[in-house]
Structure 1
Amino acid sequence: MSSISFSTPSSSYYPFPKIHYPPYITIPTRISCVSNPTRINRKQTTDQSETQELVRLLTRKISDKEPLLKTLNKYVKLVRTEHCFLLFEELGKHDKWLQCLEVFRWMQRQRWYIADNGVYSKLISVMGKKGQIRLAMWLFSEMRNTGCRPDTSVYNSLISAHLHSRDKSKALVKALGYFEKMKTTERCKPNIVTYNILLRAFAQARDVNQVNYLFKDLDESSVSPDIYTFNGVMDGYGKNGMIREMESVLVRMKSNQVKLDLITYNLLIDSYGKKQQFDKMEQVFKSLSRSKEKPTLPTFNSMILNYGKARLKDKAENVFQNMTDMGYTPSFVTHESLIHMYGLCGCVSNAVELFDQLIESKVPIKVSTLNAMLDVYCINGLQQEADSLFTRAKSIKIFPDATTYKLLYKAYTKANSKELLDKLLKQMDKDSVIPNKRFFLDALGAIGSSTEKSGSANAGTGSSRPQKFVKTQLET
């Protein structure tokens, strides 16, 4: 099949290997004239704004380490259910699920509090996302003890909560049990959200038979599939590399006369790209370009990254040129995709040049971009250069995170670099970085693969020290 043809840019646009980036432009706010909203709409907008502003104030107060209950009591005359509902969302985003329970207990002591399914549904959802399945189940039991009757939304939250547990096979059995119970319970009949949650989960688990069963059940019900139904299942199959199954869902989607949206195009492009079926990926891109939808940065980033993984440097650079020709400003993901691509292609100097240009541009650089550059050094056997960049990271206002330490730890252990490993461990101790068991399990895997290759030739050279250290950490 034919590949994508891109127009040749003028000499002022990103010649390779040297890349020149356009200045980052702040787009002014567009001012448009609209008809005056009704008085009711204005009042609703005002109420929503005031609610959100109060929640932002409460979140700031709580994040400043002021006792939660003290903050809530200070604003007790203003805080109501709608504020707590938004507060659950904000606290959940920052992994503060224990504080969500504190807010809930505080709510229950207020005169205005009335037991409500919506509150329980939101809390169950938050607990599930944080892997607190027992607490989610406890909330479900307490809800029924207070006299609330479960409804579809509560069961949907409960199913989602179970699907966040580590034991996926057990979670799927539980989820299916709740699904069957919903079908025989008044006020709890499965809706399209229920089907979408389950279909996606079973697609991710590669359970084709169960996906087909759910689709058949959906066809026989009064519920109609929507774009999220098909996108969720195709994404689940695509991420598992099950292209044939993904394409069968696409056919089903078209037979239901559901039009492809931007998410559909992007997940197809990404799925084909990961399987290196570039003819199909390019054909989807052409269809996207001819449709009412338009490519987005994630579209180009995915293509750059997947071409890079296949060591197709010229094609990746060609996509980047086309992206800039169309007026898109590269994001940090674009930069990282290019850096990663250069690393895989062995073009370390190109990656270094791009990274240095980002530093010189004074644009805030994310730690993930630093990690991408460190990874380029490590996969090309340049551990000393990686250590040098890591050492000067803070001086250029990039602060390493847990992923940084994990990446370097694995690279140094794999390379049997005792000196760099000792230096890194001292820095971790200095920065109060306390690794968990997963950290050392991953490192032990890297050491194991390295020692298998090196054989017994390294016996007695000290290379076993990292392995002994990891094993000690795992046993404690």
Structure 2
Amino acid sequence: MDASMLQNLVFPSLQASSAFPSSFTRHCSQNYSLTRPWSLQKKAMTQVSCVSTRREKKTGFKSEKSEAEELVYLLMRNMNGKEPLLKTLNKFVRIVRTEHCFLLFEELGKSDKWLQCLEVFRWMQKQRWYVADNGIYSKLISVMGKKGQIRMAMWLFSEMRNSGCRPDTSVYNALITAHLHSRDKAKALEKALGYFEKMKGIEWCKPNIVTYNILLRGFAQARKVDKVNALFKDLDDSINSPDIYTYNGVMDAYGKNGMIRDMESVLSRMKSKQCKPDIITFNLLIDSYGKKQEFDKMEQVFKSLLHSKEKPTLPTFNSMIMNYGKARLKEKAEYVFSKMKNMGYTPSFITCESLIIMYGFCDCVSRAREIFDGMVQSGKEMKISTLNAMLDVYCMNGLPMEANMLLRNAKVIGITPDSSTYKLLYKAYTKANMKELVQNLLKHMDRDGIVPNKRFFLEALGSFGSLPASKETASAATVGRSPLVRPKT
């Protein structure tokens, strides 16, 4: 699909635009020499201000909150204060009802507190007002699925039927989604199709568009194009009609897998159905083309976005900055950042991380460090991902000693490294054969209470095949010895 065809698909009425300089849409390569009619002034680029996208903590309730939300906020605050969960619930037993528990499941489900969800459920069942409800079971099954607790999701499904509830479409949708979170994707998709066929035979459980969207995305992520096509045909024959979520989900999965032609095929189908793109469509197209370094198409989609009723979002710019950076097109990435600021957008911490990584790919380590230091000096809460980004820049530019120094100073600047940090450094130090740094890294991990297991080493070293034998990894974890040993063949 060439750029002109793409232009008609995404935004048919698009005319020639001056959104980018004319040279911006030329073919891009790593050796591209840019003319600089839009070049950035160095002074303007030396200051990057970032804001946190997290919600500020509030000391009181928002006036627009419902009474149920206010009570759940109070319950969560008490639980976070290390008060036992059941004690908190019993304290408010006279006013807590089903709607409050439902909201509690949502809040607890946002973290790893899935066991507490079950405690709340068991507490509910003991109350006089409790009546078994499909919505409660659907929510719980969904929470368990997201946390990878497939057996628990299946138990809840059985518990629901034993309680006298009749599973409906929403429950089966939650169950299918739960299975698709399991590691064995082939088996999960097989089970999902089984439930799908079962639903067709139950009058009150007919698949709806949500069911199709779940399955279409699942098979697209697994690159099962034939199954996706079969599901689209089945959808055409059903009473359901595809919506924007249908097309976005499938295109996003194809795009993330680098299946550009299949993504464009779905885009053509979407256009033929008179379904207009939304900001999610534009962003996923921009990101997918950018990752494949098809920048002429990426830029065309961005122009279409500027001429549409939609407005760019920070992820739009962050993606373009990152992908130009990976192609070492520093000036284009800087131009996107400049345009973002000129349009009135305030950089988020993700924007700053994208700039740090971009400069890392473009061999501008000092520039990346300037941005990192600016974030530290801003007084905003620092995130582990930001630390990891700067460490990654040092490692990709062959500066392991600088990375080690930053790690040692991490807690001073308010960041506590986690396993992702150590995994990144372990991979880099091992690849560079820096045995002394590996030993020091293992000591740091021991001090921070992070015990490396087999999975840690597999994930850290799997990409370049230097996998330590299990005995050596166990020994390294206990005595701090470098496990730079290849497994025996």
TM-based fold match above 0.5: yes
CA shift, 1:419, in A, is 1.6
Is the 1:273–1:306 contact (alpha carbons within 8 Å) kept by the matching residues of 2? yes
Count of residue pairs the alignment pairs up: 440
Match of 2:100 among 83, 86, 93: 83
Equivalence for 2:324: 307
Match of 1:406 among 423, 444, 456: 423
Equivalence for 2:20: 5
Equivalence for 2:42: 15
CA shift, 1:250, in A, is 0.7
CA shift, 1:370, in A, is 1.0
CA shift, 1:295, in A, is 0.9
Equivalence for 1:52: 69
Match of 1:234 among 247, 251, 269: 251
**SS of structure 2 residue aligned to 1:343:** helix
Is the 2:51–2:348 contact (alpha carbons within 8 Å) kept by the matching residues of 1? no
Equivalence for 2:236: 219
CA distance in structure 2 between the partners assigned to 1:333 and 1:270 by the alignment: 15
CA shift, 1:398, in A, is 2.0
* Unpaired segments ≥5 residues, structure 1: 27-44, 452-463
CA distance in structure 1 between the partners assigned to 2:99 and 2:379 by the alignment: 41
CA distance in structure 1 between the partners assigned to 2:345 and 2:161 by the alignment: 52
CA distance in structure 2 between the partners assigned to 1:253 and 1:409 by the alignment: 45
CA distance in structure 1 between the partners assigned to 2:52 and 2:106 by the alignment: 32
Return 183-192 or 343-352, whichever deviates more: 343-352
CA distance in structure 2 between the partners assigned to 1:272 and 1:170 by the alignment: 31
CA shift, 1:394, in A, is 1.2
CA shift, 1:438, in A, is 1.6
CA shift, 1:65, in A, is 2.1
CA distance in structure 2 between the partners assigned to 1:211 and 1:442 by the alignment: 30
Equivalence for 1:282: 299
For residues 110 and 245 of structure 1, do their structure 2 counterparts lie closer, same or farther at Cα, with a shift above 3 Å needed? same
RMSD: 2.6
Counterpart mapping for 1:416-435 below 5 A: 416-435=433-452
Equivalence for 1:94: 111
CA shift, 1:290, in A, is 0.6
CA distance in structure 2 between the partners assigned to 1:415 and 1:75 by the alignment: 58
CA shift, 1:158, in A, is 0.4
Amino acid aligned to 2:152: L
Is the 2:52–2:348 contact (alpha carbons within 8 Å) kept by the matching residues of 1? no
CA shift, 1:50, in A, is 1.2
Equivalence for 1:354: 371
Is the 1:342–1:351 contact (alpha carbons within 8 Å) kept by the matching residues of 2? yes
CA distance in structure 1 between the partners assigned to 2:49 and 2:157 by the alignment: 54
Match of 1:392 among 409, 414, 419: 409
**SS of structure 2 residue aligned to 1:352:** helix
CA shift, 1:430, in A, is 1.2
Amino acid aligned to 1:249: V
For residues 22 and 380 of structure 1, do their structure 2 counterparts lie closer, same or farther at Cα, with a shift above 3 Å needed? closer
- 1:247 is the counterpart of 2:275: no
CA-to-aligned-CA distance 1:414-464 (integer Å, 9 cap, x gap): 12212211211111111111233321112343674599xxxxxxxxxxxx9
For residues 168 and 448 of structure 1, do their structure 2 counterparts lie closer, same or farther at Cα, with a shift above 3 Å needed? closer
Match of 1:166 among 168, 183, 201: 183
Counterpart mapping for 1:61-80 below 5 A: 61-80=78-97
Equivalence for 2:197: 180
Amino acid aligned to 2:328: R
Task: Report the TM-score when normalising by structure 2.
Answer: 0.85
Counterpart mapping for 1:326-475 below 5 A: 326-445=343-462, 448-449=465-466, 465-468=482-485
CA-to-aligned-CA distance 1:354-402 (integer Å, 9 cap, x gap): 2222223333322211110000001111110001111111111122122
Equivalence for 2:56: none
CA-to-aligned-CA distance 1:190-248 (integer Å, 9 cap, x gap): 01100110011111111111111111111111111111011001111111111111111
For residues 423 and 124 of structure 1, do their structure 2 counterparts lie closer, same or farther at Cα, with a shift above 3 Å needed? same
For residues 328 and 18 of structure 1, do their structure 2 counterparts lie closer, same or farther at Cα, with a shift above 3 Å needed? closer
Equivalence for 1:39: none
Equivalence for 1:127: 144
Return 232-241 or 410-419, whichever deviates more: 410-419
Equivalence for 1:116: 133
Percent identity between the aligned chains? Answer: 71
Q: Choose between structure 1 and 2 for higher RCO, CA contacts under 8 A separated by at least 6 residues.
A: 2
- 1:294 is the counterpart of 2:311: yes
Equivalence for 1:33: none
Amino acid aligned to 2:268: V
Match of 1:266 among 259, 283, 292: 283
Task: Report the TM-score when normalising by structure 1.
Answer: 0.87
For residues 270 and 229 of structure 1, do their structure 2 counterparts lie closer, same or farther at Cα, with a shift above 3 Å needed? same
